[in-house]
């Protein structure tokens, strides 16, 4: 179950992502009957299509090729996420900006799913593997957090509005 940022009130800015993530995982047992991971009736089989759907659902996000891979941009300028299909390694993944400290925390917690991507990892970007058992609710959360980091405040504020 996805927990929106608006429900997290006791965390500092650097802890917000981890708190939301923990809250969602704590409530996952109550969602045992709902489709989440790899259920082809709920999530398209192709990870690129799933990631594309998540990114393009955000306000004023567009897609174009960047360095030979699909990438998503806010207002055609700020990079939101980059798809990486075996880019200098054997992984299918995506890279996106992450709040301060999140990259280190997630890579330490689960290095089979998270990694420090080349070129942008030193700036705190997070690599998320898509060739493993993917938790698409968590990917949606990660992409939404990245959007909040790069989008103008007026666009980021629209995420709190009902859809």
Task: Tell whether 89 is covered by a domain.
Answer: yes
Least confidently predicted of 42-46, 82-86, 91-95, 142-146: 42-46
Higher-confidence residue: 6 or 81? 81
For 40, 63, 80, 115, the CA distances from 56, given in Å and listed in that order, are: 20, 8, 10, 24
Residues with Cβ within 8 Å of residue 154, at least 6 apart in sequence: none
pLDDT in tens, 8-48: 333 333 344 444 344 333 333 334 333 344 444 444 479 99
The CATH number of residue 98's host domain is 3.90.1150.30
Phi, psi of 17 (to 5 degrees): -60, -45
Whole-angstrom distance, CA of residue 104 vs CA of residue 18: 11
Least confidently predicted of 37-51, 64-78, 101-115, 139-153: 37-51
- Number of domains the chain contains: 1
Whole-angstrom distance, CA of residue 13 vs CA of residue 8: 10
Task: Tell whether 154 is covered by a domain.
Answer: yes
Task: Tell whether 100 is covered by a domain.
Answer: yes
Task: Tell whether 20 is covered by a domain.
Answer: no
Task: Tell whether 6 is covered by a domain.
Answer: no
Phi, psi of 34 (to 5 degrees): -90, 145
Strand partners, 92: 85
Q: Rg of the chain over CA atoms, in angstroms?
A: 15
Q: Residue 138: give the domain boundaries.
A: 44-160
């Amino acid at each position: 179950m996805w927990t929106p940022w608006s429900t997290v009130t006791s965390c500092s800015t650097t802890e917000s992502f981890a708190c939301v993530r923990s809250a969602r995982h704590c409530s996952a047992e109550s969602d045992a009957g709902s489709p989440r991971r790899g259920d082809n009736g709920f999530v398209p089989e192709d990870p690129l299509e799933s990631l594309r759907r998540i990114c393009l659902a955000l306000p004023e996000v567009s897609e174009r090729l960047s360095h030979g891979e699909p990438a998503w941009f806010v207002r055609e300028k700020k990079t939101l996420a980059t798809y990486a299909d075996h880019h200098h390694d054997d992984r299918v993944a995506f890279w996106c900006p992450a709040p301060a400290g999140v990259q280190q925390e997630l890579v330490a917690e689960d290095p089979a799913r998270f990694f420090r991507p080349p070129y942008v990892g030193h700036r705190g970007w997070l690599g998320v593997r898509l060739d493993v058992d993917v938790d698409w609710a968590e990917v949606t959360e990660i992409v939404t957090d990245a959007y909040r980091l790069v989008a103008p405040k007026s666009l980021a504020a629209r995420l709190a509005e009902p859809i």
